[in-house]
């Protein structure tokens, strides 16, 4: 009887010890940033903030959810994510935001774990670049549209800006090695070449850029069913703004900027607004409206183009489903500061 009690007691102690061990392996979730889309809201704070307990807790969560390749997945605090979105991504500021927050927290705290995680993330960006200079939306995801070179939502522009800072070894990234800075410089140069190589030309005239390109052929490519090859006003605006930031521009870069801005000027839409009406969004006529742009323009005709989840193409936004009409940025004023007379 005593022997049985002793064995039972040993089992209880062992179980308790195992529970404690498991608990120690589970990342702390207070505060919990939630997912990659929320990390970018911690950018742009006062530098002193990144030394606060709140910032440190966020950085700890970022470190805990970093994947083995150095990046972060979509909705990285959600254990049910599978498939492409379970891999490291730069979609919607993913990975670049985490790297930047880690760098800022390291600079305030000087804790080595934040520097190590930051360096690991930068290495992913350097190692994940294609030979043609582009980057995918999701790393190590061949055979899917996520492998395409991605300008969508400014993904590649965010990478290039971050690596430019790394290459200069200033600001948030003054702690990186000279060797890493040199690799970052080469990566930025390759990315600029990719941008120049992918500017769409129509009947001998350079225009602007598509959201994504085939990673092998550099031809405009389709992503989701409603994201067809097209010339994209929003993403092209981000690319032009990045090119304008380059301190020493080659004639090729100057030409790319000029031709893209000219296309944006020619693609202005006058006399309409895209407004909410109840639970829907509609185009209304307004002769006093500021010019706006469509998100997508058909490559050969330059007509505003819209598509639905079933892959059908339309030239009137009212013809697509309400779910897509209200759930996507079909119109915007993205280039308005670039085309001021």
User: Tokens 């589970």 sit at which residue?
Assistant: 26
Catalytic residue at 92? yes
For residue 314, list its beta bridge partners: 306
Q: Shortest CA distance to 54 belongs to which of 109, 123, 112? A: 109
194/174 Cα distance (integer angstroms): 27
Q: Which of 45, 132, 169, 224 is catalytic?
A: 224
Distance CA 89, CA 128 (A): 11
Rg of the chain (C-alpha set): 24
The two three-digit tokens of residue 213, written as one number: 């390109």
- Catalytic member of 35, 73, 92, 295: 92
Would you please indicate which residues are annotated as catalytic (active-site) residues? 92, 224
């Amino acid at each position: 009887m005593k022997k049985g009690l002793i064995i039972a007691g040993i089992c209880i102690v062992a179980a308790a010890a195992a529970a404690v061990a498991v608990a120690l392996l589970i990342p702390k979730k207070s505060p919990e940033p939630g997912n990659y889309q929320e990390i970018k809201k911690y950018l742009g704070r006062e530098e002193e903030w990144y030394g606060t307990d709140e910032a440190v807790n966020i950085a700890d969560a970022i470190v805990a959810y970093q994947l083995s390749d150095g990046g972060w997945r979509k909705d990285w605090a959600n254990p049910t994510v599978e498939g492409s979105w379970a891999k490291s991504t730069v979609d919607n500021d993913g990975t670049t935001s985490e790297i930047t927050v880690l760098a800022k927290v390291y600079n305030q705290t000087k804790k080595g774990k934040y520097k190590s995680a930051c360096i690991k993330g930068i290495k992913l960006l350097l190692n994940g670049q294609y030979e043609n200079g582009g980057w995918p939306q999701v790393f190590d995801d061949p055979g899917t549209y996520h492998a395409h070179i991605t300008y969508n939502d400014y993904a590649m522009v965010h990478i290039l800006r971050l690596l430019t800072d790394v290459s200069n070894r200033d600001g948030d990234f003054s702690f990186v090695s000279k060797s890493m800075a040199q690799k970052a410089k080469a990566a930025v140069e390759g990315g600029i070449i990719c941008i120049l190589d992918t500017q769409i030309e129509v009947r001998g005239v350079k225009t602007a850029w598509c959201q994504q390109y085939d990673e092998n052929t550099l031809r405009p490519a389709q992503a989701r069913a409603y994201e067809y090859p097209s010339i994209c006003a929003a993403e092209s605006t981000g690319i032009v703004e990045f090119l304008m930031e380059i301190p020493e521009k080659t004639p090729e870069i100057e030409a790319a900027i000029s031709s893209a801005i000219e296309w944006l000027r020619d693609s202005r839409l006058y006399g309409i607004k895209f407004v909410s009406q109840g639970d829907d969004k509609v185009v209304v006529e307004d002769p006093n409206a500021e010019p706006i742009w469509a998100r997508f323009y058909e490559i050969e005709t330059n007509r505003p183009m819209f598509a639905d989840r079933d892959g059908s193409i339309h030239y009137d936004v009212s013809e697509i489903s309400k779910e897509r009409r209200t759930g996507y940025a079909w119109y915007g004023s993205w280039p308005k500061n670039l085309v001021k007379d």
